[in-house]
Every structure is written in structure tokens, then in C-alpha cells.
Structure 1
């Protein structure tokens, strides 16, 4: 096998980059809706091999870029759908904007490959697999945090149908990501005849074995405290008609009438910006409706825009009324969708292209959970559910989680399916039900084990009713956060370094 790898490294650079791009695209099959978990390991093994066999750091940079191009080019292709269909810029500009976005994402992997090469060649005390893991995880963390971040398609999401899924309540998405990258890079070391170190392989066997044990002998980290009959309303309003006055009136009438038909539910949830009128407009209008809800012990939670008293700042919000209360402003805004980074520079360019400007403001960092009767509800609007740390910080005060979204932006692409998959990971990490109401789908109930227990069909005007279970207590991940992942990485570094010292002293 090592001879085959050596021959592979001698191929023309263009051929190697093509192979890298294809292997990167294969990695997307590990994510929803495909769920072929070995696919992502193929991408990372090839990525690691290309780094290990690169003669220079520059070569490693471009080889790493090729794998990233295939992975992100295929993985976030749904971005093109929203820009082309609703951005008013035409197909060519939409393609260029999507390509620019993909290139930015690729830069994190390319820099990780470049850094890995330098670390491998200048600090040989540690095996290549450790350096590749550390560099790529730092790159993924940077991708997830800079300019509000884009923590989509992280390595740990590839393992939903494996034993590693059971590690989520212990260390969250970053622990599973670390194990995936470390496993893949260790395989690459073995294939390229590089020392992978027995101690490191042993750690991986222990982790996979522990995950298998938890899969067959699960541990209950949280306790059920009650149930809440809940109805989700999926309006299926066309995105290009959503904000038209006639559509707004008709949609509001549908949502209200449907809610009246489900007053036997303790909670009714409408999707993101189901109401396109502002909160200040709707609050007095809803006074009698809110009283009717309260009289039947029903809470309504809906997405709604809000505006500051001076009419200068707009917010994407969730409002609880009836037998509950609370108003939450979205904290994590979507770049170019809800706000424009560096708007003083980029804004005029987008104006030339005719691309609509978004001007939402983010809410305060410390906002209380919503109240549904006696229950606390941690709210998340659309994109916010991808931020594991934001969810983790709000879990302690909540009995279950609610996320509302409008994935109609992404049409029939696999973007909504990836979004649903991410919500399943948050449920497993937090040990809480996730109630997910969307405009066009995928509307669903996800239990504390990260399993979808009820799901509505896409692109249909419908409702979905089920019992949402409330839970108390916290998982180790909610309590410890990043620490289990950092401990794993520190152990790998320590074991590898000590193993290197022993080898040097052995005659």
C-alpha cells in the first residue's frame, strides 16, 4: 500500500488535484440526506495523504485546497439556489458569489494543510496525524467563529449513523470532530508507512470502543419531567410572495384559523417570520386572540420582525403570547442574508448588482428563555441552531428547545436536510427535545436522543401534532463544554511525545 501511495504522489499536479477534488466531493455523502458515513473519512484520508506526501508547504496548500474545493463546492451548493432565485442578481453573478463563498471556506482547509506540513517537518517528535488533527481542528474552529462563523458540515456531523454519535452528550460536536479527524489522519499515516504510534492507535480504539459500549448500554443523563401537547403549523408560503401585502393578510388568517382549530394543544408554533407585520403592530391587534389562547391554556410562539421605536433598527424575533410570554431577538445573523459584513465597502458593490441589502440588528447576548405555561423554552431562529455553544449556554434554564426556520430560501436542495441533521445533534448534545417549525419544511419533533419522532412532508401546507417531552438536568457536555475535547487532544500530544522520547532512548 505504501508503494501505491508513493506512486500516487508522483502523478502530475493537475491529476493529483483532480483526485483531491473528487475525494472532497465524496465526503458530502456522509451528511444528510445521504448518510453514507464512510464518505467523509475518504475525504480526510486523502487530505491527510496529500499533506504527508507533499514535497513543499506550497504544494500542501494547493493540494489541501483541491480537497476543500470538492467538499465545500458540493456541500454548500444550495447557497447558489437562494442567491439565484431570490437575490435578483442573475445566474452568472449568483454563481460568482457562491464561488467566492466556497473559496473563503476552502482557505481554512488550505491554511490548515500548509500549517500541517510545517509542523510535521519542523516538529517531528509528534506523529503527522496529531499535527494534521490539531491544524485542521483549529481551522474548522476559525471557520466556525470568524465574522459570526459558518459552523456547517463540521467533521463530527458525518458520524450520525455510527457509535461516535453517543459521544455527543459527553463532548459535543467538537469531540466527535476531533475523533473523526484523528482517525482519518491515523489511517493515512498507516497507508503512507509513516509512524502512527501504538499509543495513539490505542487511544482511538478505546474511544471507539467506549462509544460502542454507550450505544448498547446507554446512560441516561437527564430526567423527564412532563409532556406538552404541541402543534406545529407549516404555512408553505412562497418565498417570493411572502412579504406582499395580500399574501401577508392571507397567511396570517390561515395561521390564526389553524391555531383556533388546535386549542386543545398546550403549545402552537408558527415558523420564522410567519407574521410579516412588526411586533408593535401585532401586539394590540392580537389582544383578543391572545386572551382566547390564555383562556384555553394555549401558548402561541411565532416568528415576527420587530423595529426599534425610532424605526432605525430591525430585529428578527420570536414572540410567545397567550398562556406564555417573552420576546427574543436573534443573536446570530446570517452574513449577506440578514446583515452585510463591511457594509461600508461591500454595500455599494451589491447595490450596483441589484442585490437587496439586509439590515437586521442582532439581539443582546444575555436574553432570558421564553415561558410556555410553567415550562422554560430556549428559542433559536433558523441559523442559530448550528451554534453548539449558544445552545449549550441556554439549556440549563430550559425544559426543551424550539427552533423556527424558513428554509424556503433553499428550494429542493439538500440544504434543509443538512439543517435538520444539525438540529438532531443539538438535541443529543443537550438531552432535550427540539421542536422545529418551518415554513416549507422540514418541520419535525426531535427527541432527546437525537431521533426524529414525527416529521411533516416538505412543500405542503399542513400541521404536525405530537407530545413534546420536557427534561431537566444537564449532560456532561452542557456542564463541561470544550474540556473533554481539549483533554483528548492533550492526551494524544502527551502520549505521542512520551512515546517519542522512549524511542529515542531505546538503543
Structure 2
């Protein structure tokens, strides 16, 4: 059943499989003979869900198979087994409530949906968080449904998804007629959500920022070649040639390169900065990813630089949400491991989210790689950006499900915040996403390609999600608090009965 649920996710989108997946596990949980059995069933559901959905992570270990290939099966099994704990605990909590309360039919599936979403929220926080393959991303081909995220975010959409997908289990209840009625009610509710989304799509009028033409460069450099000393200059030359190429009389005002596109320390390379300055259009900038170091502090960052026509760095952003075991090794003093990316030392985290003001561009929030998969990445309502820039490098994962899932996750930030998102990948999928989550332009996966594009304007009215998002976290935390109090009270009551 977990595998069936995963096959509804990008890039497969076999949505009908959500019904046997979630109706099946709901029925198993309700009929389980004990909470321990529900926990066991939930863990196996999660193992199938994450094992199928995240199989592609193993590709990163085979970029340098002689060093890391042996780790792949152990790392994948450990990751999947750990993530499976979240569905396991979800179903344990659900079964505990079934034991304590006699839910009405619809109350049971509604409780399941809410608890599932609460554990997805928890997964976004625990051990730095990993909100990948949230169940709401299954709806990516259905733009009207995605618009619900403008109100309740991807977690709320996930709750609605589980509610609808588990509702057919009501037909197997003893009160089948009432179950059928509630099933019709649930799907009527789903149809109303579709109607809301269709209305929102029809009301949107695409507008672009005047005088801005952005050149997005996807150089498609294989990861195993990216950091080779004898190839670094040729990689840079490729970026240079693609940036200055004449295409259909297009006149870019800004050039954007992907994450760590420049395989040099720019602060130590003044000549290289001057060359990049010659690429910057008059009055514009080249925006690129590159490593940055401070020798006095002994620290290195994964950064984004904006470089003007003088060859000067006029703005910098440092990635703050780093990838465990990719960019740093947790508990390095204890774990004798090396990280997957180039270099022996760990990257240091930046100061946090920021909004940059660059020449001839509206305020922008830069994000690097998987930072953009976190739904609450921006917390200051008074300093919201007009657009999001996401530089990434999906070369680690080849032509697998990973790059598609990554793109799907970041599309939700555009919907939730009502701003366009420009995504530039070394390889993977480079895309322009408008503020209602539609892809305006994109490259094929793992192709060398340029996109010259305008910059969509943000929505004139901010989505309700921006007003509700602080309450979403409070609400899900409240779910755990209330459930904890209930289960504690049940335990104390049982202890009192046993003592008597």
C-alpha cells in the first residue's frame, strides 16, 4: 500500500492508487487487534512509501562509486527505515484514539487526515527537517486543485488528499448506507475545492515586470566532472559562451547561473570577476552560485553572488539550511564519515533567509537547492519578496524521479506566497513558475539549454496562506498536545482501574 501511495507522486502521478493506499491502511488500522499491530502496519506502509518515492537518492553515492558506492544500500535503508517511523506513529496515534473513542464514520477519516498532516508537519522539523514527497504534491498535473495551497498550504492540501483517498473505506463499515452518504459528501467537498481552484486560475492575468529579460543558463555539467581541476576552466568557458550567445534577437538584462556554477573562490579570483563583469548586461548583473570562504574564520559557505559590469560583487547570500551528510556531517566528532560534495571540510550555515535588492530588479528572496522545499522559509510578513530565486544542482540524481519531485516541491512556494519563482539548475529542470504555480517555461531534464524569459509579477493581493501560516504550525503543534493529553489521561485511567 505504501508503494501504491508513492506511485501517485511525481513523476508518476497515478492518482487512483491513492484510494487503495489510504483506504487500505485506514481499514487495517481500524480493524487492527492492537496499537502495536497498527504501529507495525504503519511502519511497513512508510517503508514502501519512502522506499519507492526516494529510491533515487542512491544515485548520489554512485557519482564516485569507488568512494561512496558501498554506502548506498546502508544509507538508503537507514533513511527509509527512519522516515517510516512517521507513518508508523501516525497510525499508532490513530489506533489509540479508535480504542478510546467511538468516532462517527466521517470523524474517523477526518481524524486520520488531520493526524497524517500533523506528522508531515513534524517531518518538516525533526532533525533539521525533510519535507520531501508531501502527499499534496501528488496533484501537480491538476492545477485547479493546487490552488487550495494558496489558503492552507501544501500541508492542508495533503490533509484534504488523505480525507478524500481514505473515504472509500467507509463503504466497508457496518453502516454502509451512512458510509456511502459520507463518501458522497467527501467527494462533493472535493469538487468544491476544484471549483475554487478553477475560479482562481480564470481570475489570474499574467503580467511581467517591465524592462526585465532574464537569461537562465543550464550548462548540464555532469557531477563527476564538475570539480575536476583540469576541466574547471572549460566549464566556465561553457557558461560564458551560453551567456553571450545571440538568440532570436533577445537582449537579456540579467544573466543567472546555477548553484556552484563557478568552481572557483571568486574572492580570490579578481581576474575571473572582471571576465564575469564583461558578461553582465549594461546596468544589470550576473547572478551565480559559488563557494565562499573566510580564511580568518576558517569557514566556507555555499553562496549566491550578484556581480555587476565592473566585476564587483554587490550582493551575497549564504545558504543556511544545509543538507545533512551532503554539505556537512552531523556529529562529525563521533561519526567518521565524509560528506558527498567536494571538499573535506563542512559548509557553514548562513545567517538565514534574506531579501536582496539588485539593480533593475524587484526585491528577491534567494534560496539554494532544497531550501525551497520548506513551506515556512520566510517568516517576516513585512519583508516579503516580489519573487523567489532558486539555484540548484540536480546532477547528483541523473534522469530519475528526484529532479521532478524537487521541482514539484518548490512550485508550491509560488502558490503559497503569491510570487513567481525562477529556478536555475546546473542540470535537472530549469523553470519559470508564475505566482499561481504554473510553469511558464522550462528545459527538458538534463539538457544543455538557455531560457530567455520575462519576470512575472507577483499577485496584487497576497494569498490567505501568508496570514494563516503562523497558525498552521500552532494548529499542528496543538494536535500533538491534545492527543498527548488524551493518551496520558487514558493511561492514568487504566492505571487507576488496575490499582483498584
Q: State the TM-score, normalizing by the size of structure 1.
A: 0.83
Distance 2:292 2:95 in 1: 50
* Residue 448 of structure 1, CA deviation: 1.9
Does 1:260 find its partner at 2:244? yes
Checking the alignment, whether the CA contact within 8 Å between 2:173 and 2:179 is kept in structure 1 is: no
- Partner Cα distance (1:450, 1:194) in 2: 41
Residue in structure 2 matched with residue 329 of structure 1 by the alignment = 318
Cα distance, 1:397 vs structure 2: 3.1
Cα deviation 1:131-151 (Å, max 9, x = unaligned):
323332222222111121110
Deviation string, structure 1 residues 206-246 (Cα, Å, up to 9, x no partner): 64243222233226589846242111111111211211222
Give the Cα separation in 1 of the matches to 2:43 and 2:175. 23
Please state if 1:269 is matched with 2:251: no
- Deviations for 1:82-126, whole angstroms, at most 9, x for unmatched residues? 123336445443111111110011011111111211111113356
What SS does structure 1 have at the residue aligned with 2:388? strand
Contact 1:44 1:184 in 2 (8 A): yes
- 1:310 is paired with a residue whose SS is coil
**Offset of residue 459 of structure 1:** 2.8
For the pair 1:226 / 2:201, whether they are aligned, the reply is no
> Relative to structure 1, is the Cα distance of residues 394 and 36 closer, same or farther in structure 2, using a 3 angstrom cutoff?
farther
Structure 2 equivalent of residue 106 of structure 1: 84
**Please, which of 61, 82, 97 is the counterpart of residue 83 of structure 1?**
61
Cα 1:386–1:41 shift into 2, 3 Å: farther
Query: How far did 1:485 drift?
Result: 8.9
- 1:339-361 deviation digits (Å, cap 9, x = unpaired): 11222222x2x269999856111
Aligned residue among 461, 468, 476 for 1:480: 468
Residues of 2 paired with 1:332 and 1:369: CA distance? 18
Three-state SS of the structure 1 residue aligned to 2:63 is helix
Does the residue aligned with 1:375 lie in a helix, a strand or coil?
Answer: coil
Structure 2 gaps of 5+ residues are: 483-500
Q: Residue 340 in 1 paired to residue 336 in 2?
A: no
Asked if the contact 2:116–2:159 (Cα under 8 Å) also holds between the matched residues in 1, the reply is no
Where structure 1 has 5 or more consecutive residues not aligned to the other structure, the ranges are 1-22, 495-507
How far apart, CA to CA, are the structure 1 residues paired with 2:471 and 2:169? 27
The residue correspondences of 1:13-412 to structure 2 (distance < 5 A) are: 23-86=1-64, 88-89=66-67, 91-124=69-102, 127-162=107-142, 163-193=144-174, 204=186, 207-218=189-200, 220=203, 224=207, 226-227=209-210, 228-261=212-245, 264-282=251-269, 285-287=272-274, 289-290=276-277, 293=280, 296-310=282-296, 312-322=298-308, 325-346=314-335, 348=336, 350=337, 359-391=346-378, 393=380, 396-412=383-399
2:428 to 426, 435, 441: 441
Q: Tell me how large the CA RMSD over aligned residues is.
A: 3.3
Contact 1:395/1:478 (CA < 8 Å) preserved in 2?
no
Alpha-carbon distance, 1:381 to partner: 0.5
Distance 2:451 2:135 in 1: 32
Give the Cα separation in 2 of the matches to 1:177 and 1:343. 35
Offset, 1:56: 0.6
CA distance in 1, matches of 2:102, 2:371: 40
Deviations 1:244-288 (A, max 9, x none): 222221112222233233692112110100011124224564146
8 Å CA contact 1:330, 1:363 repeated in 2 = yes
Aligned mates of 2:379, 2:204 — CA distance in 1: 15
Aligned residue number for residue 467 of structure 1: 454
Kindly state the Cα deviation for residue 483 of structure 1 after the two structures are TM-superposed. Answer: 3.6
* Structure 1 equivalent of residue 491 of structure 2: none
CA contact (8 A) 1:382 1:406 kept: yes
Q: Distance in 2 between matches of 1:177 and 1:113?
A: 16
Q: Deviations over 1:67-94 (max 9, x none)?
A: 1111111100011111233364454431
Distance 1:374 1:292, change over 3 A: same
Distance in 1, matches of 2:382 and 2:187, equals: 32
Q: Residues of 1 paired with 2:19 and 2:269: CA distance?
A: 50
Cα distance change of structure 1 residues 470 and 216 upon mapping to structure 2, 3 Å threshold: closer
Structure 2 CA distance for partners of 1:320 and 1:206, relative to 1, 3 Å: farther
1:29 CA displacement: 2.2
Change (3 A) 1:391 1:352: closer
Judge conservation of contact 1:395–1:430 (CA < 8 Å) in 2.
Answer: no
Once the 2 structures are TM-superposed, how far is the Cα of residue 290 of structure 1 from its aligned partner?
2.6
Distance 1:244 1:471 in 2: 40
Deviations 1:413-439 (A, max 9, x none): 110011111122222222222111111
CA distance in 2 between partners of 1:140 and 1:372 (Å): 39
Kept in 2: contact 1:89–1:353 (CA 8 A): no
